[in-house]
Amino acid sequence: RWDAWAARNRADFPFFSAPENAGVAYLDSAATALQPHVVIAKHVQVSSTFDGNVWRGMYAASARSTAAYQEAREKVAAFLGAEPREVVFTANTTHAVNLAARGWAAHRLRPGDVVLVAENEHHSNLVPWMQLAQDAGLRLRFIPLDSAGRIDMAAYRELLRDGAALVCVAHVSNILGIENPIASMAELAHRAGARILVDAAQSAPHVAIDVNELGADFLALSGHKTFGPTGIGVLWARRDVMAEMRPVATGGGTVSEVSFEGVYHRQTPYCFEAGTPPYEQAICLGEAVDYMQRLGMGAMRGHVRAMTRYALRALSFCEGATVLGDQSADDGSLGIVSFAVDGISNETLCALLARMQVANRAGAHCALPFVDALGVPGICRMSIGPYTTKEDIEAWAFAIQEAKRACAGMRERN
């Protein structure tokens, strides 16, 4: 039934009807998801009929932009179970994490304070903390994973006992696709007096998020992974936590009063949105949120789990292929399968797949320390969106077998 569901959704995505993409199995949604018609139509509408800069324009086009920008904030807030004034529009997840680091942690944390970061975090939720640790004398400690690729909760408890001020963790790992137990992690963090920042870049496309149920203090996501455009992301911070933040980038848009003597900043969240904001992208993100909700977050999750299982089964028939992390559990990966094939480098494998019209991604997936620790030079990753059908996955598994055969043939000739 999920196959038919995905096949119906495909009609919503012009990517598939573009002649350039004929026959492509698009299995790279974790990098960037496709945009549905409704989002693309919104781009056209905003660019053709709104197109006045937001805020103080008195004319109708500017008023329309401002109203739609604020409506997008309301939609994102409702999507997260939050209040609109807790939503800051940023460029992407990376900028959102940097805003939390520089706007909150830089002045709330003291030298010697500990920031806990999971071992397999994306560079975007790792490097900002490394940089800040260097600048502000913080100590960074890493939460280990168990052999199945899950957060080692005993080790996490131990680390918290030693004292921590902030925990930074992905909701869903971009390498293993595993969903971390954020609610339990947040409860433990709060009991230990720490705050928790959740990188929801990979969960927002398929997991119903309620920031209060999660118990998060900060949450970051990207529009381009949630069927919206690039150039837009979100930093959500609970109201009382946002009140502790200070503007990082300042100038037009962030101030209510400026004289030669001084500055009054606008209220939150506007004091964190410097310059002309990406309001077109924000409005399109609002449309993408509507689209996801129409499909239903329960269905998004059900489909992605079913297709991930199907992909794992297909891969188990591919000789020499291995999967990263323990994917046997019922609560296994959400839409991501990282894999390797004996005797073929990840780059060669992905290049061969690309030649066979299968879009995958190779490399360290922005988690170099984690991939290095696995002792592999890199990995291939396939990922799933609401338009992924069994046929895509069969094409992928077939292409892997063909690539393996081609490489074996090359070796024989040599």
Known catalytic residues are 366
What angle do helix axes 279-295 and 37-45 make, rounded to 10 degrees?
Answer: 150
Q: Does 201 bind ligand PMP (CB under 6 A)?
A: yes
Q: Are strands 233-237 and 358-359 parallel, antiparallel or unpaired?
A: unpaired
Which lies closer to ligand PMP via its Cβ, residue 5 or residue 104?
A: 104
In whole angstroms, the minimum distance from the beta carbon of 91 to ligand PMP comes to 7
Q: Does 195 bind ligand PMP (CB under 6 A)?
A: no
Q: Interaction with ligand PMP in 361-380: which residues (CB under 6 A)?
A: 366
HSE (side-chain half, CA atoms, 13 Å) at 129: 25
Q: Measured between alpha carbons, how far is 149 from 131 in angstroms, rounded to an integer?
A: 26
The candidate with the shortest Cα–Cα distance to 17, out of 37, 38, 43, 45, is: 37
Which lies closer to ligand PMP via its Cβ, residue 113 or residue 217?
A: 217
Query: What backbone torsions phi and psi does residue 402 show, to the nearest 5 degrees?
Result: -65, -40
Q: Does 9 bind ligand PMP (CB under 6 A)?
A: no
Q: Does 202 bind ligand PMP (CB under 6 A)?
A: yes
Among 9, 29, 66, 124, binds ligand PMP (CB under 6 A): 124
Query: What backbone torsions phi and psi does residue 122 show, to the nearest 5 degrees?
Result: -65, 150
Q: Does 199 bind ligand PMP (CB under 6 A)?
A: yes
The candidate with the shortest Cα–Cα distance to 395, out of 342, 337, 353, is: 353
Among 9, 35, 180, 222, binds ligand PMP (CB under 6 A): 222
Q: Does 120 bind ligand PMP (CB under 6 A)?
A: no
Cis peptide before 269 (omega within 30 of 0): yes
x-marked contacts with ligand PMP along 61-100 as a string, rule CB under 6 A: -------------------------------xxx------
Q: Measured between alpha carbons, how far is 8 from 29 in angstroms, rounded to an integer?
A: 18
Cβ-based neighbours of 300, under 8 Å, separated by 6 or more: 205, 206, 207, 292, 386
Q: What order do you get walking across the sheet with 321-323 strand by strand?
A: 321-323, 336-341, 379-383, 361-363
List C-alpha distances in Å: 153 to 156, 159, 219, 413.
5, 10, 21, 50
Q: Does 304 bind ligand PMP (CB under 6 A)?
A: no
Among 122, 238, 303, 381, binds ligand PMP (CB under 6 A): 122
In whole angstroms, the minimum distance from the beta carbon of 129 to ligand PMP comes to 13
Q: Measured between alpha carbons, how far is 133 from 128 in angstroms, rounded to an integer?
A: 8
In whole angstroms, the minimum distance from the beta carbon of 79 to ligand PMP comes to 17
Among 165, 170, 344, 364, binds ligand PMP (CB under 6 A): 170
Could you list the beta-strand ranges (E) of 281-324.
Answer: 321-323
Stretch that binds ligand PMP, among 106-114, 197-205, 342-350, 392-400 (CB under 6 A): 197-205
Q: Does 235 bind ligand PMP (CB under 6 A)?
A: no
Among 35, 98, 120, 125, binds ligand PMP (CB under 6 A): 125
* Angle (CA) 293 334 72, round 5°: 30
In whole angstroms, the minimum distance from the beta carbon of 92 to ligand PMP comes to 3
Which lies closer to ligand PMP via its Cβ, residue 26 or residue 50?
A: 26
In whole angstroms, the minimum distance from the beta carbon of 379 to ligand PMP comes to 14
Which residues of this chain interact with ligand PMP, rule CB under 6 A? 92-94, 122, 124-125, 170, 174, 199, 201-202, 222, 366
